[in-house]
Chain A
């Protein structure tokens, strides 16, 4: 168990450092959420029904966490292929799952740049109050949300690889997930059939947990849901990765680009 945790820890640190050195990744992680946060702040400030700006800021920051997970994890295995390291990742003694998991966790962790950027941007230019009602719960909700999304990233990584143009699939899923997980729009405004879709997506519970913790509510049920969904994602991701590895070995397509 200690060896597994150590492997995840070391891999996570390595990938966080590596992704932090990517100007493209960091700039996109920071710029895009700031743009959407600014739009949302302005729309809610001008509109007839002014929303709580901290509510908007957390939603916009979460958009960034989703984007970095989606693009980072969605292309994770493809990157390894392009760099010629996929064969090594599979050939090493630890299970492939333990090699990919730190990477997908790192992509969602990088999303914290987005959350930090939108909160600071909101504070500096839109007077967003950064008073958190339940600081302890918030500090718990944040890593749980990141882990939930990172584990969702594991499914993305293991399934997108079946699709040659993973980036295009990422483009396809960015806006819809922003919408159906209620990051900026209350779920009650969306058609009823959207509800069940949102329930199986970790960002729904993650942003709800952060908001409940920040704006005097009870975040613990949402934190629990995020963890439970994470466990389900881990099981699905494990089997999807096994399937990918088996097919890739059978068909000798590991280095196929």
Chain B
């Protein structure tokens, strides 16, 4: 019961605290308008290079942009607490770590889902992409899985925040890495083999591919293997993120570096 309270109430409080500084006037430009312009930029580069259809870029970039809330909000899990000088108080508490950290991840997933869904809708309307109504529920599911998967990567990013100072730079670097390697803007088949190998084990690659097929009118059953692969990646990243957090927490205690900022 205590774990459940920590998971639900702790997560909600942490998320509300995040919105203490992530106000409406920061949220809208960064998470509502920017993804639409990212879609437009790449759609027009695609037109310029005559590479792929607008739909390719709308779907790819809408889902990939879920990385911004997932990476940055999760990094605040550590960086924000460090900044407020509350990290020590949290880590000294006897609260079980699993509900403590995962409770804070759930609202981040919800936020990422909203950002990706909004970008997909707005991008489709602006560029005149026709997505079959029958595909929308399945697309919703794929977006949830994609957001969960990237939140796992965000958890790893948060853990690294216990060791490195420039977490914002790292988040930006990971975002750029995902932009290239997930096939959001370049067909995976065109990437060198070593890049394709990396693509297969990172968040978004499978969900973007599944979403593109769904947008083309395929059924959920035809992309279930891709969704399954993304879920597997999500589980691995979430587990790795949690273990890394525990490891760096222990290291931080041992070397007295928890509050280093």
Contacts and interface: CB of A to CB of B under 8 A. Distances in A.
Given A172-B33, A185-B47, A185-B48, 11 more contacts: A24-B168, A35-B176, A36-B176, A38-B180, A42-B191, A49-B50, A50-B49, A175-B40, A179-B40, A186-B48, A189-B48
B172 A168 contact: no
B190 interface: yes
B50 A179 contact: no
A112 to B, nearest CB: 19
A139 interface: no
Contacts of A168: 25-26, 28-30
Contact of A31 (B23, B169, B186): B169
A174 B34 contact: yes
Interface string A16-55: 0000000110011001100110111011101111110000
B37 interface: yes
Per CB-CB distance, the 5 closest pairs between chain A and chain B, nearest first, are: A47-B49, A35-B176, A175-B37, A172-B29, A47-B51
A48 B49 contact: yes
A48 B46 CA distance: 10
Contacts, number: 104
Contacts of B176: 31-32, 35-36
B50 A175 contact: no
B14 interface: no
A172 B34 contact: yes
Nearest to B52: A47
Interface in A40-90: 40, 42-44, 46-51
A174 B41 CA distance: 11
B185 A24 contact: no
B130 interface: no
A97 B41 CA distance: 35
25 contacts: A23-B169, A24-B166, A24-B168, A27-B169, A32-B176, A36-B176, A38-B180, A39-B42, A43-B46, A46-B49, A51-B48, A165-B23, A168-B25, A168-B26, A171-B29, A171-B30, A172-B30, A174-B34, A175-B37, A175-B40, A179-B37, A185-B41, A185-B44, A186-B48, A189-B48
Contacts of B173: 27, 31
A10 interface: no
Interface string B35-60: 00110111011111111000000000
A39 B179 contact: yes
B187 interface: yes
Contacts of B46: 43, 47
B44 A190 contact: yes
Contacts of B187: 46
A42 B179 contact: no
B169 A51 contact: no
Contacts of B37: 175-176, 179
Contact of B169 (A28, A35, A39, A46): A28
Contacts of A161: none
A212 B173 CA distance: 32
Interface in B160-180: 166, 168-169, 172-173, 176-177, 179-180
Contact of B172 (A28, A49, A51, A185): A28
A42 B29 contact: no
Contacts of B26: 165, 167-168
Contact of B45 (A32, A169, A184): A184
B191 to A, nearest CB: 8
A27 B34 CA distance: 21
Contacts of B30: 168, 171-172
Given A24-B169, A174-B34, A175-B41, A43 B51 contact: yes
A13 interface: no
Contacts of B25: 163-165, 168
Contacts of B169: 23-24, 27-28, 31
Interface in A149-171: 163-165, 167-169, 171
B91 to A, nearest CB: 26
Contacts of B47: 185, 189
Contacts of A23: 166, 169
Contacts of B48: 44, 47, 49, 51, 184-186, 189
A205 interface: no
A43 B185 contact: yes
B44 A46 contact: no
